[in-house]
Chains A and B, each alone.
Chain A
């Protein structure tokens, strides 16, 4: 084919992407205070109130008691804890997609890197409590692996594992991002490359020769044994108290990550990120190097995803390569789109709503979930491009437009 001019000359093509930007509302001091109060209340509810309800409403053991009406059961709290870890990932994905405009289709991969790090640690802690009473994880016994592979060795240590949960995904993202951003691979190309990356890593993790449990992944976790100042404390994952603790830790991480992202997006750095989204060339011509900023935000989002995965695994009890499939990564993008891209609250809300919907549909009418999810993708992109957060503003504008049209007629 012949040389082609830019194809974005379509009249329907706005270059500035539709996002709900809360900036103009925040100049108003009253709104600013109320937003801050709302944030504190939300954080308190998530971190303190909900776990407390789980404790005080608990039914008496050995009786017919079903618990107080406000009791949050262990299962519900555990489910919510998993959603919160997804929300943590969603924050990172919103930073890179919502704010910087880079569609990364391998976030699930980073999630699983963190998850597998945690899973390897937990498998080693299970040790001789496994099915085969061997110090090796069960799947290695099946696969006739007699000696622990070298790359498993660091995961004996709790703090090494904690460090690797952040290091492995962010280092991977850094290397991949360095290679791609430096050569100005962007937009669609970047999305396609990350998708291929997710695909081939998924293929690798499915292999038994990787020594990561193949298709079945890692499971049968028993306990976490963190060491504080030389004292090892054993937390058994089967105890409700430990699960509640994991929930609180997840909620704390989410609040901390939210504050971090909020700080970033309001700083000069955040303004550059938004500028890259809206017109990367103009940023470059202004003397910035977009590649460095993109590399930073990609690495940060990978680290957040890794932490999210590590929090997710002990609450779920299993990690498989299925969690890093191509589909998993794309499904994560819709959380942001539903909530409202370019707003941090939207990302968190979207992750919670879509996953709650998933749990509801798969328990009640499993066969219809793909239809619903598919329709959600189409509907969100076409009808509410700014997500649920942007919906009131969108409706107001439409109302204002139609009333203006009414006046001119």
Chain B
């Protein structure tokens, strides 16, 4: 047995995760006796003591067991005192000698002298309690069982899953108890599943049979590999049950995947709508190919990032979650202002020459990307506000994340807003008038220059809001826009240039198609390639998109 040891990195880590001070109550004598019993070389005796400690249900022994597992539990023999069990992790220096700070074995609180100073001891006075692998496993099981009774349902669920994975049959009873006591229905299902998964290893066929049928009812995905395993050795009687159960679970998994694909298609589609809305205005209505559209999204994303940092620095922590609500209009304003400058500075000289706008705005996008790289570095992440983390679990195994749901709702709001603005407001009337017949509008007294700038700023602002929303699902990078620009153009072209309905329909259609093609081909790249093939073939049939402009003009 080694008399002294270095602090392991794990010990240092645990130091931060285990609170040093716990509620101090007088330890029950039975528990103290079991803790003392740990100080032995006999593994069997140690395991018995660990099991007894687990049975006690006293949460103050958790630090004891954790310390024992990582071999930080010591027998301390002070020069003029009685032996006692302590936990020793941190070093200190007393009179130029290295000493260990001591913690109570029961509860893990630091030991103090009567005058309040911390007690420490040199390595010579400490004797390590060593454990073997089997004892460690036993400790693991006991600790998980304690977690089954934790106040946080997430911890309880994780513990149940862990116990099932460990496959130690002795945890069965604890799981049954935990399930009976479980108030949270979702956690109860998880514990039920873990219980039955463990029960698959029970010796009797009777128990196995019960477990299999229960797992079938629960449609447990984790059970599939275990049942496959069991099938190889099982009796014919069990085989007859296992096969239909497996089929049932697999069928359910297929249904799940399909349902999830429907949702993620909608989610992808709404992201496409959001990105393409601004483009539908600048490209569709104004005839400008704005290759810097993606960079306007990038500006919106960085506006969100800056808002987040400002909130971190200046706003109390409780209100931090609201930064995202503030970031939405700010990103609109930031990207809109950039778009206004772009229109006044470059684009207004190029109306009617779409291919030239493509080149000029590509140049602008190069400058913007490099500038962003210069100011912000290569990669920054925005932390999603807490009220958008998590999701709704509609059925077991299918979770709809809040951030995706938020983007879908936000997209609907944006589409409604653009619709109202363009088709139900006087500003929208002017925009449409200028786009249809510039000369006539000018002679009717519309300031066409101002309308151009306003329209372009509006499209750019929408791009900014799309960028803000994208921070919920991805990193903020200087070339963030480049990943989306091709998709956005394809959507607008497929939908029919100048058509809001077309853009929305095309975006949703492409979103769904993409998700399903990904599901079928099992590869994101092939999904994208097939989408392109599909779009080209589609444009064979309808060269002007889903909703072509109607009229007698030859060219659009």
**A and B pair up:** yes
A residues adjacent to B (C-beta < 8 A): 1-14, 17, 103, 176, 179-180, 182-185, 187-189, 191-193, 195-197, 199-201, 203-204, 206-207, 281, 326-327, 330, 333-334, 337, 367, 370-371, 373-378, 380-382, 385
Residues of A contacting B556 in the complex (Cβ-Cβ under 8 angstroms) = 4, 6-7
- Asked if residues B351 and A188 are in contact (CB atoms below 8 Å), the reply is no
Partner of A207, one of B359, B493, B499, B525: B525
Residues of A contacting B438 in the complex (Cβ-Cβ under 8 angstroms) = 9-11
- Known contacts A179-B540, A183-B543, A377-B362; is A192 also within 8 Å of B489 by CB? yes
Give bound CA distance, A337 to B357, whole Å.
Answer: 13
* Chain A to chain B contacts (Cβ below 8 Å), 12 pairs: A8-B287, A9-B438, A10-B352, A180-B539, A182-B540, A183-B541, A196-B535, A200-B525, A330-B359, A330-B362, A370-B367, A381-B360
Interface residue? B122 (CB, 8 A): no
Scan residues 465-503 of chain B and give those whose CB is less than 8 A from a CB of chain A. 482, 486, 489-490, 493, 497-501
- Asked if residues A3 and B360 are in contact (CB atoms below 8 Å), the reply is no
Interface residue? B554 (CB, 8 A): yes
- Asked if residues B423 and A1 are in contact (CB atoms below 8 Å), the reply is yes
Grouping DSSP codes into helix (H, G, I), strand (E, B) and loop, the A interface class, with mixed when no group exceeds half, is helix
- Known contacts A375-B363, A377-B359; is A4 also within 8 Å of B435 by CB? yes
Residues of B contacting A206 in the complex (Cβ-Cβ under 8 angstroms) = 525
Q: How many residues of B contact A (CB 8 A)?
A: 66
Residues of B contacting A330 in the complex (Cβ-Cβ under 8 angstroms) = 291, 358-359, 362
Rounded to whole Å, the gap between the CB of A308 and the closest CB of chain B is 21
- Asked if residues B498 and A1 are in contact (CB atoms below 8 Å), the reply is yes
Rounded to whole Å, the gap between the CB of A394 and the closest CB of chain B is 15
- Asked if residues A281 and B369 are in contact (CB atoms below 8 Å), the reply is no
Interface residue? B549 (CB, 8 A): yes
Interface residue? B400 (CB, 8 A): no
Partner of B352, one of A12, A180, A334: A12
Give bound CA distance, A201 to B551, whole Å.
Answer: 36
- Asked if residues B359 and A337 are in contact (CB atoms below 8 Å), the reply is yes
Interface residue? B350 (CB, 8 A): yes
Interface residue? B396 (CB, 8 A): no
Residues of A contacting B555 in the complex (Cβ-Cβ under 8 angstroms) = 6, 8, 281
Q: Which residue of A lies closest to B492 (CB)?
A: A192
Give bound CA distance, A152 to B512, whole Å.
Answer: 36
- Known contacts A4-B556, A184-B543, A196-B532; is A191 also within 8 Å of B367 by CB? no
- Asked if residues A371 and B359 are in contact (CB atoms below 8 Å), the reply is no
- Asked if residues B362 and A7 are in contact (CB atoms below 8 Å), the reply is no
- Asked if residues B363 and A1 are in contact (CB atoms below 8 Å), the reply is no
- Asked if residues A1 and B432 are in contact (CB atoms below 8 Å), the reply is yes
- Asked if residues B498 and A183 are in contact (CB atoms below 8 Å), the reply is no
- Asked if residues B436 and A381 are in contact (CB atoms below 8 Å), the reply is no
Residues of A contacting B318 in the complex (Cβ-Cβ under 8 angstroms) = none
Partner of B346, one of A196, A201, A378: A378
Question: A4-B285, A7-B556, A11-B439 known; 18 other A-B pairs, CB under 8 Å?
Answer: A1-B432, A3-B550, A4-B551, A7-B285, A7-B286, A12-B352, A183-B541, A188-B497, A192-B490, A193-B493, A193-B535, A193-B539, A196-B532, A199-B532, A326-B482, A330-B291, A381-B359, A385-B356
Interface residue? B349 (CB, 8 A): yes
- Asked if residues A370 and B346 are in contact (CB atoms below 8 Å), the reply is no
Q: Which residue of A lies closest to B423 (CB)?
A: A1
Give bound CA distance, A4 to B346, whole Å.
Answer: 25
- Asked if residues A374 and B363 are in contact (CB atoms below 8 Å), the reply is yes
- Asked if residues B500 and A1 are in contact (CB atoms below 8 Å), the reply is yes
Rounded to whole Å, the gap between the CB of B497 and the closest CB of chain A is 8
Interface residue? B43 (CB, 8 A): no
- Pick from A6, A176, A326 the residue with the most CB of B within 10 Å: A6
Interface residue? B214 (CB, 8 A): no
Partner of A367, one of B363, B370, B423, B532: B370
- Asked if residues B355 and A187 are in contact (CB atoms below 8 Å), the reply is yes
- Asked if residues A370 and B370 are in contact (CB atoms below 8 Å), the reply is yes
Interface residue? B151 (CB, 8 A): no
Rounded to whole Å, the gap between the CB of A186 and the closest CB of chain B is 9
- Asked if residues A374 and B529 are in contact (CB atoms below 8 Å), the reply is no
Residues of B contacting A8 in the complex (Cβ-Cβ under 8 angstroms) = 287, 352, 555
- Asked if residues B532 and A197 are in contact (CB atoms below 8 Å), the reply is yes
Residues of B contacting A378 in the complex (Cβ-Cβ under 8 angstroms) = 346, 360, 363-364
Interface residue? B398 (CB, 8 A): no
